[in-house]
C-alpha cells in the first residue's frame, strides 16, 4: 500500500542536496578511518618513510583550501538562484537546486574537507602507524583526483549556470519529459471521464485536509482501496491542481467512514508548490511567466519572450496521443488536463503583454500556424478560442494598420469556417 507515493517521496529525498552532503561526509569519515583496518593487509615492501611523512602536509592543504572553495561555491550557487529567479521566474529555480552536477561538486568539496579534518585529527591522536599512513596517503591521492575532476566539471558548469538559456533548457527538458509520459496516457491509467457516463450528484465528496498543491497521486493504492469495496472513484484533483478543504479531491460512489476517508486522502501527496513531475502544464506556466517578465518595461527583452514561445512550440510538436485499450486502474476515473488549457497557458499571457510588439505577435501567429500544419486534427479545434482572442487583442492594440492587417489575415486563415 502506498508504494508509489513512497517511491515518489524517496526520489524527491534523493534529489535534495543535504542527502548527498550527509552521505558523502559519512563516506569521507569511513574512508579516513579505513586506513587503520587496511594496514594489516599492506605488504611490508610497500611501506616507505618519505610517503608516510608527506600525508599530513597534503591533508592540511586540502583542509584549508576546501573550506574556502566550499564557501565560495555556495555563494556562486546562491547568486545563480537569485539571478535565475530575477531573469526567468522563481518557479524555475527548483530545477537548478536539483542539478546533479552542482550537488556532486559541492558534496565532493565538503566531503574532502571532512576527510582531511578526520585524517589530521587521527594522525595527531596517533591511531595510524607508518603502514596506516601509507594507506591514508593512497586514499588522499585518490581524493585529490576526485577534487580535480570536480573542479573541471564545476568550471564548465559555471559558464552557463543560472543564465537564461541554461535555465530555459532545463525547463524545456523537464516539461518534455513530463509531457511524453502524459501523452502516452493522458488519463494516467484511469478510465476516461465522460459526464454522461459518470454522475457525481449522489456520490460522496472527499476533501483535502489542507489548502495545498497536489504533487502526486498514488493511483495504484487508490485503486486497491476502491477495488476492496467495489466502488468507483472520480478524481477531480490531478497533479498540479490546488486542493483546499472546500473543493473535493475526489468523489466516491459509496459512503466512507472517517478511517476510509483518511486512507483516500493519504494517497494524495500535497505540498506548497507545484513541481514538474506528473504536471504537464507547469512547464508551460514557467515558460509563459519568463516570457511576460521579459516583456515588462523594466526588462524589455522581446527576444527572450520569442525564445520561450519557440521552446513551447518545440515541446508541443512532440504530442502524439496514444489511446490505451484497457485502463490499468479499472475503479478510477479522471478528466485529463485539456490541450486547450495548455495552449492558453503558453500563448494568451504573451499575446496580452506583447500586444505592442509586432515581432512577438508574429511569433505567436507563427507558432499556431506550425501547430495546425503539424497536426490539424489535434490542434485546430483547441486553438479556435485562442485565435479569436488574439484577433481581439490585435484589433484593440496599438500596432500600425498594415501590421494589424497582416496578422489578422494570417489568423483568419486558421479559423474553422
Which of these, 201, 262, 274, lies nearest to 237 by C-alpha position?
274
Residue 50 has pLDDT above 50, yes or no: no
Which of these, 413, 414, 2, 71, lies nearest to 217 by C-alpha position?
2
Residue 369 has pLDDT above 90, yes or no: yes
Task: Count the neighbouring beta carbons within 10 Å of the beta carbon of residue 292.
Answer: 17
Q: What angle do CA 207, 210, 213 make, to 5 degrees?
A: 90
- The per-residue pLDDT for 302 is 93
Which of these, 227, 234, 266, 239, lies nearest to 251 by C-alpha position?
234
Specify the pTM: 0.81
Distances (CA, A) of 304 to 61, 84, 165, 166: 45, 13, 9, 12
Distances (CA, A) of 316 to 22, 132, 283, 343: 40, 60, 11, 9
Residue 40 has pLDDT above 80, yes or no: no
- The per-residue pLDDT for 382 is 92
Mean pLDDT confidence for 295-324: 87
Contact criterion met (CB below 8 Å) for 52 and 145 = no
Mean pLDDT confidence for 146-167: 87
Q: How far apart are CA 323 and CA 190, in angstroms?
A: 12
pLDDT band at 349 (very low <50, low <70, confident <90, very high): very high
- The per-residue pLDDT for 305 is 94
More confident residue, 343 or 135: 343
Residue 324 has pLDDT above 70, yes or no: no
Distances (CA, A) of 114 to 22, 132, 138, 198, 208: 11, 18, 17, 60, 44
What's the mean pLDDT when you consider all of the chain? Answer: 83
More confident residue, 137 or 332: 332
Most trustworthy range by pLDDT among 85-99, 327-341, 387-401? 387-401
Q: What is the 3-state secondary structure (H, E, C) of 312-342?
A: HHHHHCCCCCCCCCCCCEEEEEECCCCHHHH
Residues 174-210: pLDDT tens digits? Answer: 998 888 877 767 777 888 776 655 666 678 888 888 8
More confident residue, 112 or 348: 348
Contact criterion met (CB below 8 Å) for 175 and 281 = no
Q: How far apart are CA 371 and CA 320, in angstroms?
A: 12
CB-count exposure of residue 73 (10 Å: 0-12, 13-18, 19+): buried
Residue 362 has pLDDT above 70, yes or no: yes
Mean pLDDT confidence for 375-383: 90
More confident residue, 320 or 283: 283
Report the range of poorest mean pLDDT among 88-97, 122-131, 264-273, 340-349.
Answer: 122-131
Q: How far apart are CA 85 and CA 145, in angstroms?
A: 34
- The per-residue pLDDT for 15 is 64
Contact criterion met (CB below 8 Å) for 306 and 361 = no
Residues with Cβ within 8 Å of 259's Cβ and at least 6 positions away in sequence, in order, are none
171: left (phi over 0), alpha (psi -120 to 50) or beta: alpha
pLDDT band at 2 (very low <50, low <70, confident <90, very high): low
- The per-residue pLDDT for 140 is 82
- Residues 21-56 as b/e (b if ≥16 CB within 10 A, e otherwise) read beebbeebbebbbebbeebeeeeeeebeeebbeebb
Residue 70 has pLDDT above 80, yes or no: yes
pLDDT band at 347 (very low <50, low <70, confident <90, very high): very high
Amino acid at each position: 500500500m502506498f508504494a508509489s507515493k513512497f517511491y515518489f517521496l524517496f526520489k524527491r529525498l534523493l534529489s535534495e542536496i543535504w542527502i548527498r552532503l550527509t552521505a558523502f561526509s559519512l563516506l569521507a569519515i569511513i574512508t579516513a578511518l579505513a586506513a587503520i583496518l587496511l594496514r594489516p593487509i599492506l605488504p611490508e615492501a610497500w611501506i616507505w618513510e618519505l610517503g608516510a611523512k608527506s600525508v599530513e602536509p597534503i591533508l592540511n592543504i586540502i583542509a584549508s583550501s576546501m573550506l574556502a572553495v566550499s564557501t565560495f561555491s555556495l555563494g556562486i550557487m546562491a547568486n545563480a538562484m537569485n539571478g535565475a529567479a530575477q531573469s526567468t521566474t522563481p518557479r524555475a529555480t527548483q530545477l537548478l537546486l536539483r542539478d546533479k552536477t552542482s550537488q556532486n561538486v559541492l558534496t565532493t568539496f565538503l566531503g574532502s574537507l571532512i576527510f582531511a579534518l578526520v585524517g589530521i585529527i587521527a594522525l595527531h591522536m596517533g591511531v595510524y602507524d607508518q603502514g596506516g599512513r601509507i594507506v591514508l596517503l593512497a586514499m588522499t591521492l585518490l581524493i585529490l583526483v576526485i577534487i580535480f575532476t570536480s573542479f573541471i566539471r564545476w568550471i564548465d558548469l559555471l559558464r552557463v549556470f543560472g543564465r537564461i538559456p541554461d535555465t530555459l533548457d532545463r525547463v524545456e527538458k523537464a516539461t518534455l519529459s513530463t509531457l511524453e509520459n502524459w501523452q502516452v496516457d493522458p488519463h494516467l491509467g484511469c478510465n476516461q471521464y465522460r459526464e454522461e457516463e459518470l454522475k457525481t450528484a449522489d456520490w460522496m465528496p472527499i476533501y483535502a485536509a489542507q489548502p495545498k498543491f497536489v504533487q502526486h497521486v498514488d493511483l495504484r493504492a487508490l485503486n486497491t482501496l476502491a477495488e476492496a469495496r467495489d466502488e468507483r472513484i472520480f478524481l477531480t484533483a490531478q497533479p498540479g491542481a490546488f486542493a483546499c478543504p472546500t473543493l473535493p479531491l475526489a468523489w466516491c460512489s459509496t459512503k466512507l467512514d472517517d478511517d476510509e476517508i483518511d486512507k483516500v486522502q493519504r494517497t494524495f501527496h500535497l505540498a506548497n508548490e507545484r513541481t514538474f513531475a506528473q504536471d504537464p502544464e507547469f512547464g508551460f506556466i514557467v515558460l509563459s511567466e519568463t516570457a511576460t517578465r521579459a516583456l515588462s518595461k523594466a526588462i524589455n527583452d522581446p527576444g527572450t519572450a520569442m525564445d520561450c514561445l519557440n521552446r513551447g512550440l518545440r515541446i508541443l510538436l512532440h504530442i502524439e496521443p496514444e489511446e490505451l485499450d484497457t485502463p490499468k486502474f479499472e475503479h478510477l476515473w479522471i478528466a485529463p488536463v485539456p490541450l486547450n488549457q495548455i495552449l492558453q497557458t503558453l500563448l494568451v499571457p504573451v499575446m496580452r503583454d506583447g500586444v505592442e510588439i509586432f515581432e512577438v505577435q508574429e511569433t505567436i501567429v507563427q507558432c499556431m500556424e506550425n501547430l495546425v500544419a503539424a497536426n490539424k486534427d489535434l490542434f485546430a479545434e483547441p486553438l479556435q478560442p485562442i485565435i479569436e482572442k488574439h484577433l481581439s487583442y490585435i484589433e484593440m492594440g496599438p500596432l500600425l494598420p498594415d501590421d494589424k492587417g497582416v496578422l489578422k489575415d494570417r489568423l483568419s486563415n486558421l479559423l474553422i469556417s
